[in-house]
Chains A and B, each alone.
Chain A
Amino acid sequence: MFNNFFFIGLPYAALTVMLVGSIFRYLNFGFKVSSLSTQFLETRELFYGSRPFHWGLLYLFFGHLVAFLFPRSVLLWNSVPVRLLILEIVALGFGISAFFGLYLLIVRRLKHKRLIVVANKMDIVVYVILAVQIISGLWIAFFFRWGSSWFAGTMTPYIKSIFMFTPDIAAVSAMPLAVKIHIISGFTMIGIIPFTRFMHFLVYPFSYIWRPYQYVIWNWDRKTIRNPKVKWKIHKPTNN
């Protein structure tokens, strides 16, 4: 029952809420989608908190993604002990950097009155869930070694089964508590994306990379709208 609820029910609920909620919020409450940066109010301590936190999490996220998408390659890489060691140490390093970043960010938030003014209730949830996620991750890395290897055999099939709509929780049910917590808080994090500032990583501005620097919007095209030969088409200005 416990396992069914947390490893089948929760993932589907979280993914659904994330998809529907994020799209709904993006379309209907566009103004409220923002990274809510507080750098303007305090910049020095943010540097030491935000940089290690974000870069740490970013690499860990892609690490998990690669392990899920290419389990065979990861296992192959790990077949030489030195390479396994390097991979694990690097991953642990990013985990520690994310942990210290988060710690500094929480301290910074509590220390400055200006930052408390702009914090909201969901920020507390964000801090708690991130702390649980990062600490449980470090716990696993330290006490249940060589996760990059056993991930391929246990977690990859589980996550794959979720996405194939044939959930198979045999492997995860037998996992130690730390791993269970890590999975549960991970899915919870996905589920609360639309209700928190987590929303900002869904709007990462990839399009900036290929768009030209200057951006001009014509609200309407005078040339075509006055031309009787062009057929009337519904034209929605892009600036609203």
Chain B
Amino acid sequence: MDIRSQISMVFHLDKCIGCHTCSIACKNIWTDRKGAEYMWWNNVETKPGTGYPSKWEDQDIYKGGWEMKGKKLSLKGAGKFKGLKNMFHNPNLPVIDDYYEPWTYQYEHLFEAEAGDDQPVARPVSLITGEYITPKSGPNWDDDLSGSQEYARKDVNFKNLSAQEQEAMFQLERMTMHYLPRMCNHCLNPACVAACPSGAIYKRGEDGIVLINQKKCRAWRMCVTACPYKKSYYNWNTGKSEKCLLCYPRLESGQIPACMHSCVGRIRYLGVMLYDADKIKDVASCPESELVDRQLDIYLDPFDPEVINAAKENGIADSTIDAAQKSPVYKFVKKWGLALPLHPEFRTLPNLFYVPPLLPTMAFVENGTYETTSESFWGAIEKSRLPIKYLANLFSAGNEKTIEVVLKKLMAVRLHRRNVTVGDLPENEVTDPMKEVSMDKDTADAIFRLTSLPLFSDRFVIPAAHREEAMEMLESTADVKGNHGFGFKEPPKRGL
């Protein structure tokens, strides 16, 4: 057993209002630079929709992630042989037009235009070439366009839905959507790390954050291909790849990543998970139907004395173990089983989990009116507006059973709370659903509290940053031992 700690996250999709505040916070801090304008380390997509970059989930196009070749786990579009062979031209690299050409507006013209008959306007100019352009796509171009021909119909997750099911989703009365905020998953089995020929991308041992060493990156571009979530971006100006760094400078000083801190819907949770690194390869190469369960098994119970001992032996600090015990992610993912990884079939073992959305799924129309009586809630799961199959394609590699269980749990919590606050339901309508998912009242209340009324400190449990040691994550203080003030120009090393 090789226990490591991993900073992981939960996004509660029922709470996401699609305001893009997270994306803006991230942009302002990290990617508001030349060459990085098109990068959205954090973005929010409307589902059904094509996402960003366009159709990123379609690995027949982009060849991202891992695949099983016989019994061997191998990268789909990169790797030692394919990567080095395709170094001079990577056929699977998305280009800027798959994202969008970044632009700004010529605001100065509003002030400097010569007097004339027409109102001066600020025309859009390309941030690459500086020429006038007509923006034809953008980072959230398909925002709220569920049901549209151009975007929703091209959603890759419809692939194994029947034509009838697909058609139903485009009827005006049945149309539905939910938001999907995305960022780097800081995977346990990262494809970007494996694909990087120069070894510039690495996973930090201490907290599992995946980073790109900008000095070692040589623009071989394989990480962009390999990441199935397309969360590694190529900076065309500097000739280096960049990606979400989970605001590690903020984490190290005990602050929350900017996207999570600014989240208006308070959908984001962050905490530590302890996992067994020896099992990674095994889990990543198991059959597709077992992927979710096996991945959830890799995370260990931080209250188990055996786990605690093994963690301590591995040099994990007490403060980290304590944080793991309080982790909201552990509760959502392991204790309550409410959160699932996005596209587990890519086999990267992502550490960002989603509580699937219940609301768009449940409401449905009968005889021209929305059916909202509590009686029909259970039947509605099968008859829901958003086919379970669709959610299963997103969160459980196509396994509908897994999604159904989660939705039933979420529903049970709602029924229980309605009983507590309104009390208008017959007893068995509350107890039966709770019994079916074997949930007691205390658990339901706990889920409710962490979902609806969590404090800041409940949502974010960062392991004590060890501020005094944070410096050592960047530089060894031993190197400057014996120095004082600004240090010597020459290191205090024994002479010849």
A residues neighboring B (CB under 8 Å): 30-31, 33-43, 46-47, 50-51, 53-55, 113-114, 117-118, 200, 203, 205, 207-209, 211, 213-223, 226, 232-237, 239-240
Residue of A50, A207, A234 near B476 (CB, 8 A) is A234
Complex Cα spacing A33 to B236, Å? 14
Are B90 and A39 neighbours in the complex by a CB distance under 8 Å?
yes
Residue of A35, A43, A219 near B204 (CB, 8 A) is A219
Are B315 and A222 neighbours in the complex by a CB distance under 8 Å?
yes
Are A47 and B194 neighbours in the complex by a CB distance under 8 Å?
no
Complex Cα spacing A33 to B128, Å? 22
Complex Cα spacing A17 to B317, Å? 50
Complex Cα spacing A224 to B306, Å? 22
Interface of A is mostly: loop
Are B218 and A51 neighbours in the complex by a CB distance under 8 Å?
no
Chain A residues, CB < 8 A from B128: 41, 114, 117
Are A114 and B129 neighbours in the complex by a CB distance under 8 Å?
yes
Complex Cα spacing A148 to B236, Å? 41
Shortest CB-to-CB span from A94 to chain B, Å, is 14
Closest 7 CB pairs of A and B: A222-B315, A30-B215, A205-B197, A218-B205, A213-B194, A34-B239, A54-B88
Are A31 and B240 neighbours in the complex by a CB distance under 8 Å?
yes
Chain B residues, CB < 8 A from A217: 202-205
Complex Cα spacing A236 to B469, Å? 14
| A30 nearest in chain B by CB position | B215
Are B88 and A208 neighbours in the complex by a CB distance under 8 Å?
no
B390: CB under 8 A from chain A? no
Residue of B129, B237, B239 near A113 (CB, 8 A) is B129
Are A36 and B129 neighbours in the complex by a CB distance under 8 Å?
no
Categorize the interface residue count of chain B.
35 or more
Chain A residues, CB < 8 A from B472: 219-220, 237
Are B473 and A220 neighbours in the complex by a CB distance under 8 Å?
yes
Residues facing A in B256-272 (CB within 8 A) are: none
Shortest CB-to-CB span from A114 to chain B, Å, is 5
Chain B residues, CB < 8 A from A39: 89-90, 93, 95, 221
Complex Cα spacing A219 to B89, Å? 34
Complex Cα spacing A58 to B93, Å? 23
Residues facing A in B89-107 (CB within 8 A) are: 89-91, 93, 95-96
Complex Cα spacing A196 to B199, Å? 23
Show 7 A/B contacts (Cβ-Cβ < 8 Å), sorted by A: A205-B199, A213-B194, A214-B190, A215-B199, A217-B202, A219-B204, A235-B478
Chain A residues, CB < 8 A from B217: 34
Complex Cα spacing A114 to B220, Å? 19
B219: CB under 8 A from chain A? yes
B483: CB under 8 A from chain A? no
Complex Cα spacing A234 to B472, Å? 12
Chain A residues, CB < 8 A from B196: 208, 215
Shortest CB-to-CB span from A124 to chain B, Å, is 18
Are A237 and B476 neighbours in the complex by a CB distance under 8 Å?
yes
Complex Cα spacing A209 to B88, Å? 17
B201: CB under 8 A from chain A? yes
B440: CB under 8 A from chain A? no
| B205 nearest in chain A by CB position | A218
Chain A residues, CB < 8 A from B221: 37, 39-40
B427: CB under 8 A from chain A? no
Contacts known (A35-B219, A214-B203); A240 close to B475, Cβ less than 8 A: yes
